Amino acid sequence: MKAIGIDLGTTNCAVTRYDEARATAAVLANGEGETLTPSVVALRRRDGDESLLVGRTAVNFAPRQPQDTILSVKRLMGRDFADQVVAQARSRLNYEIVAGSDDDPRAHVVMGGRTHSPAEISSMILKKLKKDASRSLSEEVTHAVITVPAYFHDSQRAATRDAGTQANLVVKKIIDEPTAAAVAFGLELDQQDRRRVLVYDLGGGTFDISILHTAKDKEGNAHFQVLDYTGDSWLGGDDFDNTIVGRVIEDIKEKCGVDPAADKKFLFLAKNHAEAAKRQLSQLPEADILIPAAFRPDTGGPLVDVEMTVTREEYDAMIEPYVDRTMALVQEALSRQNLSAEDISDVLLVGGSTLTPKVYETVERFFGKAKVRRNINPMECVALGAGILAGTMQGVECPSPKCRKSNEEDATACAACGEGLASARPLDAPVIYEVTGMALGIAAVKGTQQDTFVPIIPRGTPYPLPEPMRRSFHTTDGRFIRVPVYEGDSAVASQNNEQGVVEYELPKQVDVNSRVDVTFNYDADRIVMVRISVPGTDMVKESTLRTDTHRTPPPEPETTADDEAGWREELVRTEAETRRFLQTHEQFIEPAQAMKIRRDLDQAQQALNFSDNAECRRMTNVLSSDLFGSGIASQFLLAERAADGAPPEEARKINEAVGNVRRSYLSGQREAASEQARILKMLIARAFQARDVAEVPDEEAHGGLLRLLDE
C-alpha cells in the first residue's frame, strides 16, 4: 500500500508523500516537473478527434476552446443546481452549468456536449495526480488523504470522496485544509508545548479560518483540537485577479471605446496576465501589463493591444474590500469562541494569496507581527499535513478502554472484542479532535410553521460521537413519514443545505399517533446514520446518508409533456400572487415563515431567468405550499377566494369573520384569534362546497413531516 497526501485546490493541486526515515513529508513534482498542478480540465477537438487535457496543458489550450475548459469545479462539488453559489458560478464561469436530471438536483457541467458531475471532473484531476505520483515513486499509489475546505458541507465532502473512488484511490481520510496545515506546523512543537492557533487560509478561490488547540503529550504525540471554523466559498486570489482584469477592461473601453468583457478568449488572456501582474506586485512597486493583439472588436476594426501599468498602491486599493471581508470573518470566528486577538498564540498563513503584502500586513497589524508564522511554505503546508496523515495512519485502535487492540483501517468492528469502530482513532498518526461546523437536523412542524429546522447534532459537537443523539416527534399526516435531513444554522430548514431524505410508512400494527424517535450518529468520516424508530415496538428504519447518491425528492403532482411547457407561465402567475400575499398579510405571518417565502421568491426569480422548466415546476409547488401553509394569513387568502362570487350574505359573514380574526390577532388575543379562525375555516369550507369546489388547499397537510414533540 502506497499512500499520498493531496491538496485538491480550487485553482491548483499539490501532492506529497511521507518519508518515514525523516518523519516528515515532501512535495512530489508532477509530469511537467512542477510542484503545483492547475485544477483545470479541457477537451481538445482536432480533425474530428478528441483528447482530454488536465493541468498545465489544459490551461495552455483554454483560450482556443474556453467553453470546453472546466476550472474552479471545486465550487460546484456536492451543490444543488438551485444553490446561490451555483447561480454565481453560472454568471462568472465560461462553461455551461446545468441540473443533472429531474431526479438529481445537483449541479453538473457540460464539456464537449456531454454532461459531467463535478465529482467526475475532479476524478480526472485526481487520476493525473495519482499517475504522476506513481511514476515519481516508481510504485503504484493506491491510497490517499484528500483535503477540503473546513466549511465544506457533508454533501461536498461526500462528492470529494466519490471523486477519489472514481480515480481508483482508497480515500483514507477527508481532512480540513486548515487542520492539515496545523498538522504540518505541529511538527515544530516542543514536547508538552500547548498553543492556541488560528489558521488563515486564503487560496485561489476560497477562504478558510480555523481555531485549534495544539499540544504534544509526554510521548511526543501531537494532538489537535478544532474549536471553530468558518469561511467563504467565493473569496480568494481569483477575486484579486478579476480586479486587475476589470481594470484592463476599463482601460480598453477608455482608450478604444469598445467593451471586450463578452469575449471569452480575451478574458482568458487577461486573466493569465493579471495573475502574472499580481505575483509581480508582491515583489515590486508596479507591474506592466502588455497583451499584444488582445482583442478584435465586433465592428471589424484593428486588433487592440493592451499596454498599461498598475502600481502597488492602486492594487492595494482594489483588493482592500476582499481583505476587509477576510478580517470580518476572523473576528466572527473569534467572537463565537469568546476570544480576542491576544488569546491567539500563533497565526498560520496558508494559501498562495497570503503572499500578497496587503494581506499579510493586515493580518500582522491585527494579531501582532511576532505571532504570524511565515516559515512554512503557504502553497505547500496543506499538502504536507495531508502527506503526514497519509503516511502515519496505520490502522485504528479499539475505543473500548478494556481492549485498545489495533485493527485494520477498513474494519467496522474490533477483531478482538467486537466493539464498533465508528469512533476509533487512527494509530500512530497525529490525534485530531474535530467538531461539526454547523448543526445537523431535520425539517419538522413546530406550531403552525412546517419548515422549522430542528437540530439533532448541535454546531460545535466533537465527532465521532461517543453515542448517538436523539429527538422525539409525532406524526402529522397519517402513516407516511418523510424526514428531510439538513445541515446549517438557520431556523428555517429550507435555508440550510439538504443532505438527504428518509421516507417510510408506519406498519399497520403501529398506532398512527405513536411517538417517533429520530436518532443521528456521526462517524469519523462525517457520514451520518439516521435511525427512525417507534418506542415500544420493533419498528426501526435505518439509513446511511451519502449525498453523492440521488436523493428522494418530495412527492410532486403527475404531469404530462404538454403540462411541462406551461410551468413557466404558471410560475409567473404564482410568483406574482405570492408577492401580493406577502405584502398584504405579512403582519400575520411568523417571521421565520416570512423569511422563507422571501427566499423562495428569490429562487423562483432565478428559475424564471434561466427558463428551466423543471425548476419552474418545482418552485411553483414550493410557492403554492407557502401560500397555503402560512397559518392565519393563508386563511385570509382562502377567505378572499371564497367570498369572491359568493352570495352577498355568505360573503358578508366571511368578511366579518376575517375582521374578527384580524382584530383579535393584532390586539395580542391569540387564543381568541385561533377560535375565530376555526369559525372562518368552516365558513370558507361551506362556501367552496356550495360552489362544487372538489378540493380546498389545507394548511394542515404537511407532506409527511414530523411534528416536534417537546415544543
Judge whether 550 lies within some domain: no
Q: Is 78 left (phi over 0), alpha (psi -120 to 50) or beta?
A: left
Judge whether 387 lies within some domain: no
Q: Could you tell me the sign of the dihedral formed by the alpha carbons of 657, 661, 666, 668, in that order?
A: positive
88: confidence class by pLDDT, cuts 50, 70, 90: confident
pLDDT at 140: 94
154: confidence class by pLDDT, cuts 50, 70, 90: confident
Residue 199 pLDDT exceeds 90: yes
d(CA 483, CA 706): 7
pLDDT at 40: 96
Residue 697 pLDDT exceeds 70: no
Examine the domain organization and report whether 66 and 17 are in the same domain. yes
Cβ-based burial of 446 (10 A; exposed 0-12, middle 13-18, buried ≥19): middle
pLDDT at 73: 94
Examine the domain organization and report whether 418 and 515 are in the same domain. no
612: confidence class by pLDDT, cuts 50, 70, 90: low
Query: pLDDT by residue (tens digit) across 310-366?
Result: 999 999 999 999 999 999 999 999 998 999 999 999 999 999 999 999 999 999 999
State the CATH number of the domain containing residue 296: 3.90.640.10
**85 and 127 Cβ atoms separated by less than 8 Å:** no
pLDDT at 166: 95
Mean pLDDT of the region 491-509: 82
Report which of residues 424 and 466 the model is more confident about: 466
pLDDT at 614: 67
**Which residues, in sequence order, are CB contacts of 647 under 8 Å at separation 6+?**
none
Q: Cell for 533?
A: 424508530
Examine the domain organization and report whether 633 and 587 are in the same domain. yes
Mean pLDDT of the region 202-216: 89
State the CATH number of the domain containing residue 219: 3.30.420.40
Residue 198 pLDDT exceeds 80: yes
Examine the domain organization and report whether 27 and 163 are in the same domain. yes
Residues of the chain with pLDDT > 70, as a percent, come to 90
Residue 534 pLDDT exceeds 70: yes
Judge whether 586 lies within some domain: yes
Query: pLDDT by residue (tens digit) across 540-560?
Result: 888 877 543 334 343 344 444
Query: pLDDT by residue (tens digit) across 12-50?
Result: 999 999 988 777 889 999 999 999 999 999 999 887 788
Examine the domain organization and report whether 208 and 252 are in the same domain. no
Residue 396 pLDDT exceeds 80: no
Mean pLDDT of the region 652-677: 85
Examine the domain organization and report whether 467 and 509 are in the same domain. yes
Comparing 300-304, 564-568, 664-668, the range with the smallest average pLDDT is 564-568
Mean pLDDT of the region 279-307: 88
Report which of residues 212 and 491 the model is more confident about: 212
Residue 369 pLDDT exceeds 90: yes
State the CATH number of the domain containing residue 488: 2.60.34.10
Comparing 111-115, 239-243, 600-604, 656-660, the range with the smallest average pLDDT is 600-604
pLDDT at 554: 38
Cβ-based burial of 375 (10 A; exposed 0-12, middle 13-18, buried ≥19): exposed
Judge whether 385 lies within some domain: no
Judge whether 324 lies within some domain: no
Query: pLDDT by residue (tens digit) across 232-269?
Result: 877 889 899 999 999 999 999 888 888 888 888 888 88
Judge whether 384 lies within some domain: no
pLDDT at 313: 95
Query: pLDDT by residue (tens digit) across 559-587?
Result: 444 444 577 788 888 888 898 888 888 88
d(CA 275, CA 298): 27
Examine the domain organization and report whether 567 and 644 are in the same domain. yes
Across the chain, what does the average pLDDT equal?
84
pLDDT at 557: 40
Examine the domain organization and report whether 670 and 616 are in the same domain. yes
Judge whether 494 lies within some domain: yes
Examine the domain organization and report whether 345 and 210 are in the same domain. yes
Tell me which long-range contacts 607-615 makes (C-beta under 8 A, separation of at least 24): 607/82, 607/571, 608/568, 608/571, 608/572, 608/575, 610/90, 611/568, 612/81, 612/99, 613/564, 613/565, 613/567, 613/568, 614/99, 614/102, 615/81, 615/82, 615/99
**65 and 54 Cβ atoms separated by less than 8 Å:** no
pLDDT at 696: 47
Mean pLDDT of the region 387-402: 80
Examine the domain organization and report whether 311 and 365 are in the same domain. no
Examine the domain organization and report whether 260 and 282 are in the same domain. yes
Judge whether 551 lies within some domain: no
Q: Which domain holds residue 479?
A: 439-545
**461 and 479 Cβ atoms separated by less than 8 Å:** no
Examine the domain organization and report whether 660 and 565 are in the same domain. yes
* Domain count for the chain: 6
